[in-house]
Amino acid sequence: MNTRHAAISPSRASDFKQCPLKFRYRVIDSIPEPPSLEALRGTIVHSVLEHLFDVPPASRTDSHAQSTLMERWNEHIDKQPQVLELFSSTEECEQWLESARPLISNYFALENPKFLDPLARESFVDAYLPEGLAIRGIIDRVDEAPNGDLRVVDYKTGKSPQPRYQDSAIFQMRFYTTALYFSRHKLPKRTQLIYLGDGRILTYDPSLDDVTTMQASLMQLWSAISSRLDSKEFEPVQGPLCGWCHFKDICPAFGGESPAISESGIEKLRTAFRDQ
């Protein structure tokens, strides 16, 4: 499938639901954002767990995973040396790297990778809904049982959400379930969010009704986005996360002024929907 077209991902869908203006700045205007140390740590831990399955089952131990941390880090900075600018000294960087080790150890308290044989890791899924909307994402791990059942697994380096926020977390897994269903014509039997921050697993077993509901929800989302593409008006929505938003200085809700919207960004985003 052609991946040059625009598509809706779970993170960008969440952005729009949280604040349409943030969605615009990220997706349409492509305004650069500096990486956070939390996101960077998540990237490195994900890489360690992805490559854990490169070795034979008997070698998939905590000590082996820990021994690969520096290798994964060095590979990352070879590709993106600018991340070193986040640290004021080598000592600060080393201390920060050490904060990833408990997260890696927590994984082994939740799963025994010696008994797992993933079907896919960092699996790119690119699908179209029947209505024509492109949806896309990267799944951390897909397992396949001997009977062919699929399990979708996503690693989170933060702590698990409180019950009242779990629907927001499960949205991502419903999204992946829908993408897999329309790309591979198969419904995952189970999905799991593995929270390494506090050693908990959030499980969600999808159904075809969930796919239908998510399909309708995504089409409503696209309708809301499309109307704003026509009007070029993406409103800010204030919330508890505004204090951490990189775009606060150019947000009208905080006295800032929005730059002119990118016309090329609008046209590119329109390619996320194709006429049937």
Distance between CA 206 and CA 167 in Å, rounded? 13
Cross-strand bridge partners of residue 135: 8, 127
DSSP structural state of residue 273 = B
Average pLDDT, integer, range 123-132: 96
Question: Distance between CA 267 and CA 265 in Å, rounded?
Answer: 5
The average pLDDT across 35-62 equals 96
Could you say which architecture CATH assigns to the domain 1-25+117-235+265-276?
A: Alpha-Beta Complex (3.90)
Residues paired with residue 133 on neighbouring β-strands, in sequence order? 273
Q: Does position 52 have pLDDT exceeding 70, yes or no?
A: yes
**pTM for the whole structure:** 0.91
**Domain ranges (residues) in the chain:** 1-25+117-235+265-276, 37-114
Quick one: how far is CA 20 from the chain centroid? Answer: 18
The crossing angle, in degrees rounded to 10, of helices 10-18 and 208-231 is 60
Residue 3: pLDDT band by 50, 70, 90 thresholds? low
Tell me the CA distances in angstroms from 197 to 45, 98, 116, 163, 239, one per residue in order.
Answer: 12, 14, 22, 16, 24
Query: What tokens were used for 182?
Result: 């329309």
d(CA 188, CA 148): 10
C-alpha 37, offset from chain centre: 16
- Residues linked to residue 160 through DSSP beta bridges, in sequence order: none
Conformational region of residue 25, where left means phi above 0, alpha means psi within -120 to 50, and beta covers everything else: alpha
Give the pLDDT band (50/70/90) at residue 164. Answer: confident
* 24 C-beta neighbours (distance < 10 Å), count: 28
When pLDDT is averaged across residues 123-136 and rounded to a whole number, the result is: 96
Identify the pLDDT of residue 258. 96
- CA–CA gap between residue 153 and residue 190 (Å, rounded): 9
Q: How far apart are CA 131 and CA 133, in angstroms?
A: 6
Q: Is 41 helix (H, G, I), strand (E, B) or coil?
A: helix
Other beta carbons within 10 Å of 62? 16
Q: What is the pLDDT of residues 132-142, one digit of tens each?
A: 999 999 999 99
